[in-house]
Amino acid sequence: MPRLSYRRALTRALADELTRDDAVFLLGEDIRVAASNVTSGLLKRFGPDRVIDTPLSEQAFTSFATGAALAGLRPVIEFQIPSLLFLVFEQIVNHAHKFPLMTGGQCAVPVTYLVPGSGSRTGWAGQHSDHPYSLFAHVGVTTVVPATVADAYGLLVSAIRCDDPVVVFAPAGALDLRADVSDLDPVPLGRGVVRRPGADVTVVAVGHLVHDALAVADELADQVSVEVFDPRTLYPLDRDGLVGSVSRTGRLVVVDDSNRSCGIAAEIIACVVERVRLAAPPRRVTRPDGAVLPFAPALDRAVQPGREQLRAAIQLTMKDG
């Protein structure tokens, strides 16, 4: 079976969609030489009309993509670092996202915003290590965080085919994954998946943390039967899948690499407890409130949710009832 990396799965999704649909084109900074190593080979295959290097003008090229979408194209923007989303939050939220409603349904804005390398990349410090997916979920922009190689491919393909704006966060912690994949298929937006069945507690893990959750579940296998649920799409969230899992286990722990207050973990817990009577209070493992990632590796790690914390949270939850 062919081995494929997460990064190359993104490349393949871009290539397949560029081939399938003439309306798709890519734009971003240094994408022609693939500085981020995600658009490698695409210039040669698709030419400079489909793979377009932009000047450093994030706000203008993000709205430029909105305009191109209004005129019938399907732009995919690659952002070099996640913090650039703060610069273009206005352009995505105030324009791309609101246009269809504000015009009374006269238009669609099918733009994909791809962020390969979101979250902490060791040593990149405060302005390069954010993971702002909760912000987009809050606003209602379709937000996906693929955890696996197959999902990196399948969710990016679905994002590009979606008629609305979609932000795709590819966590830095997942980019180097490799997997044996024979069939790559589109993965529907808004559908989560049980990565590991279990009977005692559901761990909901976002993005690269799915792999940490699976590892912790294995470590604890002789004590607790842990089910790992990967929502894959944070907005729209697969509430039925989530509630289904927690209804079976009766306990909930969420692990999410974003800040605690108003983070997606809070939403996941809220929407479960609205519908399920739990055997123990739910817990969440997140970055601290209002965190900024410090530089020194030990400090960076101290701020990110880790396996130790997750293990402790699962054990406490089991003790609680």
**Could you list the active site residues?**
128
**12: part of which helix (H) or strand (E)?**
helix 6-20
Distance of CA 220 to the CA centre of its chain: 26
Say whether residue 298 binds another protein (CB under 8 A): no
> For another protein, which is the closer residue by CB, 63 or 249?
63
Q: Are 46 and 20 in contact (CB under 8 A)?
A: no
Q: Are 6 and 181 in contact (CB under 8 A)?
A: no
Strand-strand pairing, 112-118 and 142-144: unpaired
- Total binding residues toward another protein, as defined by CB under 8 A: 43
Residues 153-182 that bind another protein (CB under 8 A): 162-164
Say whether residue 21 binds another protein (CB under 8 A): no
Peptide bond into 110 cis (omega under 30): no
DSSP code of 288? P
User: Amino acid letter at 55?
Assistant: P
DSSP code of 94? I
CB of 145 to another protein, least distance (A): 17
Give the contact letters, 41-60, x = binds to another protein (CB under 8 A), - = no: --------x----xx-x-xx
Distance of CA 118 to the CA centre of its chain: 8
Residues 182-221 that bind another protein (CB under 8 A): 190
Nearest to 167 by CA among 138, 190, 133, 192: 133
DSSP code of 280? S
Question: What is the phi/psi pair of residue 178, to 5°?
Answer: -130, 150
Q: Taking contact as CB under 8 A, which single stretch among the options 37-45, 95-103, 169-177, 243-251 is the one that binds another protein?
A: 95-103
CB of 302 to another protein, least distance (A): 36
Residues 229-248 that bind another protein (CB under 8 A): 236
Question: What is the phi/psi pair of residue 318, to 5°?
Answer: -65, -35
Among 34, 73, 139, 291, binds another protein (CB under 8 A): 73
Residues 107-146 that bind another protein (CB under 8 A): 107-110, 140, 142
> For another protein, which is the closer residue by CB, 49 or 183?
49
> For another protein, which is the closer residue by CB, 91 or 118?
91
**44: part of which helix (H) or strand (E)?**
helix 42-46
Say whether residue 68 binds another protein (CB under 8 A): yes
CB of 132 to another protein, least distance (A): 20
CB of 137 to another protein, least distance (A): 12
> For another protein, which is the closer residue by CB, 236 or 294?
236
**195: part of which helix (H) or strand (E)?**
strand 193-196
DSSP code of 172? G
> For another protein, which is the closer residue by CB, 54 or 304?
54
Contact footprint for another protein (CB under 8 A): 49, 54-55, 57, 59-73, 75, 90-91, 94-95, 99-110, 140, 142, 162-164, 190, 236
